Structure 1
């Protein structure tokens, strides 16, 4: 069967996480993605580390299924080649530093190609006092208030994954799909702006409304929950188990069927969720005193059999071999410039066709072919250092 975006061409001048995630989503759906990289080192994410057989972990995560051309966009000939590629594309995505796209001549693409979908991903958006500020993920998390509500009461922390980058990348790919749908109906292109700050603030949803209408910021609760109890990690004989009981019938099931402590069901301190939150410390201590009687595996089995929401606190190494992912056959092999690696299928599963899990390109791997496709003398521009493999 046909993949949803087969026949769509995307040209991206991108780096780091946000825009590359967006275009990788499009590549997985079948789009042809041409990644224009700096000739002197390429995408910054290539050099974050070299843990995946010599390639950066961020880069292999975000760039499968793309074609890489290395261009010197600081010279007119390099910019001309980029514009030739854009002339045959459906979508153009960039997340350069503020103002850089305009300086490179990419600010007027819609004037030449009104049917083009152009997406500009930035940290803070055009205009406003912070337009020119650098916008790394941690900085955006701080400005958006995410760090303020994440962590323990004593210590705020950023999330362990680049949440601001991921949020903006997902909104970027979503907007591209919407714009393409409109274009297929009307022939009209689009100019779209995605701000990392605004994407992350959107994800703050309930916290914003709590602040605006209750006048209070949600409390940092670690693994716990400000409005629900018990909702935390509880000790076992060999580790911890996360348990979350969201209603009163669930509480009765937990203490009677799982913990074999029916006396807790009618304890007036714990009868309702409101009572349990008011007596959280006592409630948590009572649960912990019983969970410690079993191993993780034993308690997990008891909780699952009773239908009580719970999860084992897995390390990343355990997730790599997660039995649910293995049972659902979610891993595929993709190539990189040095070795074949495992890659996880995208979360959205089409019943009739699988995502295109393309290889991760080496820097400039497709330069010569793309130059020829653009009608450029490849030997000449490579010899002059305008395009090609990275400079020595």
Structure 2
């Protein structure tokens, strides 16, 4: 065991003025790394993510997952007193995260120029669909829009059919993860320069950057090769794809020569294709790609005559990468996931024990598990106000005037001092 250390971002204060997913995921990661994250929400309805399922007792699991480990305030920034409060809070902060359409926060007096005047060391991270420059910067968008625009969606699904939804928020989460890297780099740069800066992250940019193959395929082919939908395998990487067996589906990755030789020998001994392993047409990647349909036909027949478990047992025995296509119940019961601590249990003040997906960070010197659940709306209004110097009379005035808002359950459960 390594001695436990302080988390790397302890002492860093983050103002999370974001909603839905990309920004909240980013700031959740910062909280896991030790930052104090203060989530700012509008009075009454709060973050729009609170209205996103799955719901239990009016609590959103979507919101809980992306906002764990944060303190929460709800303040009306359209009221001059609320705006003043947020500006005072920003003076104490290191990082400000927002994911509104470009121009929206400038109109509220909360843009980078305004806030950096108050706090020159502030690292201000903006996330939007298209970024703060370019002809589309004014347009609204979600991850779905970026997935469609980026070319990723055009390559998935069966040829000739409309592409499917990816069913995970690839653009939001990957942009959030990049935002974590950029913020940490900017904080390190601030140590040298003493100054913060504006980080401009776009969902569209992020997804285009993920093309490990398509962009260079097109540019290096003289703008001739455009990757298309391929269905269940990759024509440029035979054998690499999804195969149906009895009782389910599995994936096989035998595209590398050494793995292919072991795999071909297995197929030869278990099917009526004794020459499969010795056929010289299949001994190179190019040859396998050229004869892809013949190979796929034999492999599909092999898989369909076995159960998924039988296929996996045979492939594991010869060290060919493979896996069952698991549903979410199987994932949560997977001993590997359990051993890695990827399902996190928290004590929620309303729901009791809840289980949510953990972050993938694994450090030798400290745990990044977050056991503090997401805040109720306005849960820490008074705590944060006191922290930045507001007296009790002023705090009560802000509460009575509606500048501060809190879910009634905060008072009922005596959480406003938490």
TM-score w.r.t. length of structure 2: 0.89
1:16 aligns with 2:17: no
Aligned to 1:375: 389
SS of corresponding position for 1:35: strand
Query: 1:321 is matched with which residue: 312, 315, 333?
Result: 333
Give the match for residue 216 of structure 2: 209
Is 2:347 aligned against 1:335?
yes
- Counterpart CA distance in 2 for 1:305 and 1:21 is 39
Q: Please show how residues 228-267 of structure 1 align to structure 2 within 5 Å.
A: 228-257=237-266, 260-261=269-270, 262-267=274-279
Q: Deviations over 1:111-146 (max 9, x none)?
A: 221111111112111232212111111111112222
Task: Please identify, of 6-15 and 261-270, the stretch whose mean Cα deviation from structure 2 is larger.
Answer: 261-270
After superposition, what is the alpha-carbon deviation per residue over 1:52-98, rounded to whole angstroms, capped at 9, x for unaligned? 55322321221110011001111111111111111111111111222
Alpha carbons of structure 1 residues 267 and 122: separation in structure 2 relative to 1, 3 Å: same
Q: Distance in 2 between matches of 1:272 and 1:205?
A: 22
Q: What are the superposed Cα offsets for residues 27-72 of structure 1, whole Å, 9 maximum, x if unpaired?
A: 0001000000011211101101243553223212211100110011
Alignment check: 8 A CA contact 1:254 1:303 kept: yes
Cα separation, 2, equivalents of 1:172 and 1:246: 34
| 1:97 to 2:101 alignment | yes
Partner Cα separation in structure 1 for residue 202 and residue 239 of structure 2: 37
Match of 1:301 in 2: 313
3-state DSSP of counterpart to 1:242: strand
Tell me, in whole angstroms, the C-alpha distance in 2 between the residues paired with 1:193 and 1:63.
Answer: 22
Q: 2 CA distance for matches of 1:362 and 1:222? A: 44
Q: Measure, in 2, the Cα distance between the counterparts of 1:329 and 1:230.
A: 32
Q: Following TM superposition, by how much is the alpha carbon of 1:150 offset from its aligned partner in structure 2, in angstroms?
A: 2.0
TM-score (norm 1): 0.94
* Equivalent of 2:187 in 180, 183, 190: 180
3-state SS in 2 of match to 1:102: helix
The answer to whether the 8 Å contact 2:95/2:123 transfers is yes
8 A contact 1:69–1:364 mirrored in 2: yes
Distance 1:258 1:336 in 2: 52
In 1, Cα distance between equivalents of 2:176 and 2:341: 26
Change (3 A) 1:231 1:65: same
Aligned 8 A contact 2:65 2:357 in 1: no
Counterpart Cα distance in 2 of 1:196 and 1:18 = 9
Gaps of 5+ in 1: none
Is the aligned partner of 1:288 residue 2:300?
yes
Cα–Cα, structure 1 residues 330 and 316, in superposed 2: closer, same or farther, change >3 Å? closer
- Number of aligned residues: 392
For residues 115-154 of structure 1, what are the structure 2 equivalents within 5 Å? 115-154=121-160
Work out whether 1:82 is the aligned partner of 2:86: yes
1:317-340, CA deviations, whole angstroms, 9 ceiling, x for partnerless residues?
Answer: 211212211133333322334222
For 2:50 and 2:187, the matched residues in 1 are separated by: 30
1:371 CA drift (Å): 2.0
8 Å Cα contact 1:259/1:290 also seen in 2: no
Matches within 5 A, 1:46-61: 46-52=50-56, 54-61=58-65
| 1:28 aligned onto 2:32 | yes
**Match 1:7 to one of 8, 11, 26:** 11
* Alignment pair present for 1:221 and 2:230: yes
Q: Is 1:349 matched with 2:362?
A: yes
Partner in structure 1 of residue 413 of structure 2 = none
C-alpha deviation, 1:312, in angstroms? 0.6
- Of the three residues 67, 70, 83, the one matched with 1:63 is 67
Q: Which stretch of the first structure deviates more once superposed, 194-203 or 290-299?
A: 290-299
CA distance in 1, matches of 2:59, 2:157: 32
Matches of 1:327 and 1:308, distance apart in 2: 23
SS at match of 1:243: strand
User: Cα distance, 1:304 vs. partner?
Assistant: 0.9
**Structure 1 residue 268 displacement after superposition:** 4.6
The answer to whether structure 1 residue 387 and structure 2 residue 404 are counterparts is yes
Pairwise CA distance, 1:232: 2.0
Give the drift of 1:169: 0.8
Verify the 8 A CA contact 1:337 1:362 in the aligned structure 2.
no
Instruction: Find the counterpart in structure 2 of residue 196 from structure 1.
Output: 203
RMSD, aligned α-carbons? 1.9
